[in-house]
Every structure is written in structure tokens, then in C-alpha cells.
Amino acid sequence: MVEGKSIERQPMRRQAKKPKMNQIPIGILLIAGLLALGLYIAGVNEKMVFYLVTGVCFGFILQRSRFCFTAAFRDPNLTKSTSLTRAVLIAFAVGTVGFTAIKYGAAEGALDMAGVNSLSIATAIGAFLFGIGMVIAGGCASGTLMRVGEGFTMQLLALFFFIVGSVIADSHKAFWTTNFHDQGVKVFLPNVLNMGYLWAAVLQLVVIAVLYFLAESFENKNIGGDK
């Protein structure tokens, strides 16, 4: 009340929302462009068509699922959510079955170390540096590529230095290979545990299942009551 008069509240003016742009024509043009590109590269190299289709499918899946290894390790600490952590574990489980079948078929059931890379101090150093980089950049390799497609400028900068770092690392590859990689230890469960492909795969799937259960329990304990 001011001087016996009440102050009338003025109705808040809502800003008119900008109409969303119709993206269907853009999608049609993009698909047409991909088809044209596929037809062109089919005449150059048939394998490139497979790579194109696979890349487009993976890109679509990554964008829709928001799949990112950085978030899989970051979210449990920041938001207590483990949905992406469990998604990564499921991917590991599917990969375990697939790679076991491929390895078993290629070696015709025999145990061999072909294609098994060595573990060394270089692996630990690389993992540590990559972990720092992907946290600062806000995404791993897959997450960075996915966000570049969405138009994030930060990820464009991260991708640029990703490429620069890869070029520098490749120039030093001979040094790291000779002094560290070749001196490392190869670890392959079917050989180390002497239990064959089947039981090694079963053991790995059990470990993944335990980690999945722990991740789900962690989320339910921390944010389950808030839902």
C-alpha cells in the first residue's frame, strides 16, 4: 500500500518462443548426400562403403544414447548416476562374447597370443594422461566426435589437439615400442589361467556382472530414494 492505494501487479510478459526450425528437409538432404557419397566411393573402394555405413550407424547410436566413457567414470562421482557406467559394462559383456568367438574361430580352438598386446609402464602413463585429457575436454574420443557433429565448438578444439597429439605420438612410436611395449608382459586369461576360452569368458562375464550389480546398488543407495 502506497498513500492508501494498492500497487497492482503488472502481468509478466512472456517472451514468445522462437518456432523450431523444421529439420526434416535437412535430414533428407543429408541422407541424399550420404547415398551419393556411398555410390561414389563404391567405385573406388567397396570396403569404404562398409566403413561409411558403420560410421553413420555408430554416430547415430552415440548421439541418441549420449554414450561416453568419460561420463561413465565421471557421473558416479558427480551425480551418483551409474546408467552410463552400466551401459559400458554391458558393452564389455557383449564384446567379451564376440571377441571370444572370433578368437576361438581364428585360432581353431588353440590357445595363442596372436593379437594380444603387451602391458607396460607406457600403458599406465598413456592411460593416466588420456584420463586427464578427456576430463578437461569433457569427453573421450567417441564423445568428442559425437559432440563435434552436434556443433560444440569446445569439442572442435579438443578434436584438433587430439589429432595433433596423435601425430606427435606416432612420431615417437618407435621409441615407446622398442623400450617399453616390446618389454611388457602379455596377459591373456585363457593362457594365464590355463582354463581355455569358455571358462575365461565365463569368469570375465561374472566379474562384469558383479561390477554391474555394485554400480546399480551404488545408484539406488545414493539417489534411489529421491525418485
| Of residues 38 and 138, more confidently modeled | 38
Q: What pLDDT, on a 0 to 100 scale, did the predictor assign at position 210?
A: 96
pLDDT tens track for 64-102: 877 778 778 888 888 888 888 998 899 899 999 988 888
Contacts of 149 (CB under 8 A, 6+ apart): 59, 63
Q: What pLDDT, on a 0 to 100 scale, did the predictor assign at position 81?
A: 86
Q: How far apart are alpha carbons 35 and 24 in whole angstroms?
A: 17
DSSP 3-state of 113 = coil
Q: What pLDDT, on a 0 to 100 scale, did the predictor assign at position 133?
A: 82
**Strand stretches in the chain, DSSP E:** 118-119, 185-186
Q: What pLDDT, on a 0 to 100 scale, did the predictor assign at position 17?
A: 67
Quick one: 173 exposed, middle or buried, by C-beta within 10 A (0-12, 13-18, 19+)?
exposed
DSSP 3-state of 88 = helix
Q: How far apart are alpha carbons 96 and 203 in whole angstroms?
A: 11
Quick one: 3 exposed, middle or buried, by C-beta within 10 A (0-12, 13-18, 19+)?
exposed
Residue 155 has pLDDT above 90, yes or no: no
Residue 6 has pLDDT above 80, yes or no: no
**198 contacts 205 by C-beta, under 8 angstroms:** no
Residue 135 banded pLDDT, cuts 50, 70, 90:
confident
Residue 10 banded pLDDT, cuts 50, 70, 90:
low
Q: Write down the domain spans for the chain.
A: 24-65, 66-226
Residue 211 has pLDDT above 90, yes or no: yes
Q: How far apart are alpha carbons 72 and 102 in whole angstroms?
A: 27
Q: Please give the model's pTM, rounded to 2 decimal places.
A: 0.69
